[in-house]
Amino acid sequence: MIIKINNLNKIIKTKTEQKYILKDINFLLPKNKILAICGETGSGKTTLARIIGGFSIPTFGSINYNYAFFTNKTAQNKIKYKNLKAVRFFSKITFQDSNLQFFKQNVWDEIAFSFKNIGYKNDFLTKKIEEVFSFLDFPKNYKNLNPNNLSGGEQKKLLIAIIAFLPSKLLILDEPTASLDHHNRIEVLNFIKKISTKNKTIIMITHDLRNLYFSDYLLFLKEGKQITFTKSSILLKDQNNLNQVLFESSLIAKKDLKSDIFAKINKLPWK
């Protein structure tokens, strides 16, 4: 799926002011790539990802998903709900706080829950659960384990596998590696790579600089504004430019502008 964002803005009105949470966002993400949305806390990452996923609407601007077009023109004050429904159907999200997303007492039932919801029954349901479970590559006895007793990384993998096997084209992962230790972070990133071969577009929200190497494209936000949208391989080759972008996004301090961020990130591998 190709995602084209045109002049997307989100304004929140309070009693006293209008605040731009997103201002003039524009980019074109080619088919089935991994995009990392990067920026400090409060820069608008979650808001943008939720809008792209159809979970929230822009104040103005448009998003073209290749075959479904979704816009909100304030002038007409008309939202194309039909298309919004389509977008919600093909986009799936995992939240930063995984355990809020578990409903059941064991992993097997947790997987079953989502597929029952979309009408899977009997043998079809069992087959689907087996398929998801084997993709996860968990030990057999995990079927009976409470999802809340899995490690942080395993919890993320479970949630990501479920949404990847549901009818989905766009997976939005909000900080999937936050608060994970090194081993779990690498496990989850490798798992996301494995998922990305299944014809999915993946949007990963992150403020972990080590994850930059992992994504195909990078979007940097600062206070709702787009600092840059670029192919990772291009930006990561150009140390001065990378430092400048990280500085403008408030992800490094001024004193680090001349330092070898590049080597620093390289020393924190995901591979």
Least Cβ distance, residue 229 to ligand ADP (angstroms): 16
Q: Cα–chain-centroid distance for residue 219?
A: 12
Q: Report which DSSP code applies to 148.
A: G
Q: How far apart are CA 151 and CA 169, in angstroms?
A: 27
Q: Please report whether residue 195 would count as binding ligand ADP according to CB under 6 A.
A: no
Binding pattern for the stretch 202-241 against ligand ADP, x by CB under 6 A and - elsewhere: ----------------------------------------
- For residues 191 and 164, the answer to whether their CB atoms sit within 8 Å is no
- Taking contact as CB under 6 A, which single stretch among the options 37-45, 79-87, 124-132, 241-249 is the one that binds ligand ADP? 37-45
Q: Is 157:186 a contact under the CB 8 Å cutoff?
A: no
Q: Which residues contact 226 (CB under 8 A, 6 or more apart)?
A: 23, 24, 25, 26, 27, 219, 220
Structure-derived torsion over alpha carbons of residues 86, 170, 227, 8, reported in degrees to the nearest 10:
0
Kindly state whether residue 196 participates in binding Mg ion, applying the rule CB under 5 A. no
Biggest CA-to-CA distance, the chain: 61
47 lines the binding site for ligand ADP (CB under 6 A): yes
Give the C-alpha separation, 234 to 228, whole Å.
Answer: 12
If the CB atoms of residues 44 and 58 are measured against ligand ADP, the closer one turns out to be 44
| Residue 118 binding result from Mg ion, ligand ADP, none, given CB thresholds of 5 to 8 Å by partner type | none
Contact flag: residue 43 with Mg ion (CB under 5 A): no
Which residue type occupies 84?
L
Which of residues 46, 91, 177, 243 is near Mg ion by CB under 5 A? 46
Q: Which among ligand ADP, Mg ion, none contacts residue 30 (Cβ within 5 to 8 A by kind)?
A: none
CB of 118 to Mg ion, least distance (A): 27
Residue 34 near ligand ADP by CB under 6 A: no
Q: Does 206 bind Mg ion (CB under 5 A)?
A: no
Contact residues toward ligand ADP (CB under 6 A) are 12, 21, 39, 41-47
